[in-house]
Homo-oligomer: A and B are copies of this chain.
Amino acid sequence: MGEEKILVVEDDKQIKKFIRYALEKEGYIYSGADNAQDALEILVTEDIQLILLDLGLPDFDGMEVLEKVREWADIPVIIISSRDQDEDKVKALDQGADDYLTKPFSIIELLARIRVAIRHINKLSTDNLKPIFTIGNLKLDVENHNFYREGERLHLTPMEFKLLEILFKNAGKVLTTQNIIRQIWGPGYGNDTQALRTLMAGLRRKVEENAAKPQYIITEIGIGYRLRDE
C-alpha cells in the first residue's frame, strides 16, 4: 500500500511542486514530466501505476498522450485541467480517462480520487490480502483457512488454527504463555496455562511428525513457545 509510482504530467512548476509534496507525504513515489514527449519516455522506461495528466501541454495536446497510453496499457489516468467545459470532460472520459478534475481543485479531493483509482487496479489484480505462510513442509493459508503438512490438507479446529496463526505471525520469536492466552481467549482471562497446554498438545499432534520431539513448535521452559523459522 502507498508505494505506487505516480507520473505527474504538468508544465506549471508551481502546481507540480505542490502535487509532488502531497504525493510524497502520502507515501507515493513521484515521477514528473513537463511535456508529452518526456511523459511517453518515462512511461516506457519506468514502472508507473497511475498518471495525473494536464491537458494543456507545451508540445502536444494532453489528449494525444491519453490516446497513446490507451493503445498500450490500462494504467489509470486522472485528468487535471483548467478546461471546465462539459464537452472536454466527456471527450477525455470517453477517450479512456478514469477521472477528470478541474483546476483549481483541492488536494484532499485529488488524493481521494487517486485512492479510488488505485482501489480499482488492486481489484483487477485480485491481490491476496492475507499472506500464505510456509515453514519447512508446513503451509498456512490464512485467507482460505487451510493448513497443509507435506502438501496434504489437515483439519484444524478453530482454536488450533488461531494458535498456529499466532505462532506463524511471530515465527522465530518467543511468545510468552500469557501473551498467547490473551490473544486467543482475550483479556480478562485468568492465567489458565493448563488450557493452553491441552490446546498445544492437540496442535502438535497434527503439526509434528513426532509430537514427543517437536521440530516446529519449541517449548521455551519458564517463558513460552516459539515456532522454528529457519
> Could you list which residues of chain A lie within 8 angstroms of chain B, going by C-beta atoms?
74, 86-87, 89-90, 93-94, 97-99, 106, 108-109, 111-113, 115-116, 120, 123-124, 126-128, 143-146, 155, 157-158, 172-174, 220-223, 226
Contact = CB atoms under 8 A, between A and B. Distances in A.
9 contacts: A89-B109, A90-B109, A94-B112, A97-B116, A120-B120, A126-B128, A143-B173, A155-B220, A157-B221
B157 A173 contact: no
B158 A173 contact: no
B89 A174 contact: no
Contacts of A127: 124
A70 to B, nearest CB: 11
Given A86-B108, A112-B90, A222 B124 contact: no
* Overall SS of chain A's interface: mixed
A157 B99 contact: no
B128 A116 contact: no
Given A86-B109, A89-B109, A174 B115 contact: no
Contact of A86 (B94, B106, B172): B106
Contacts of A155: 220
A145 B109 contact: no
Contacts of A158: 221-223
Given A94-B115, A144-B172, 7 more contacts: A86-B108, A90-B111, A99-B99, A120-B120, A124-B124, A145-B173, A146-B173
A195 to B, nearest CB: 17
A221 B158 CA distance: 8
A132 B83 CA distance: 43
Given A86-B109, A127-B124, A220 B145 contact: yes
Given A86-B109, A158-B222, A174-B144, A115 B93 contact: yes
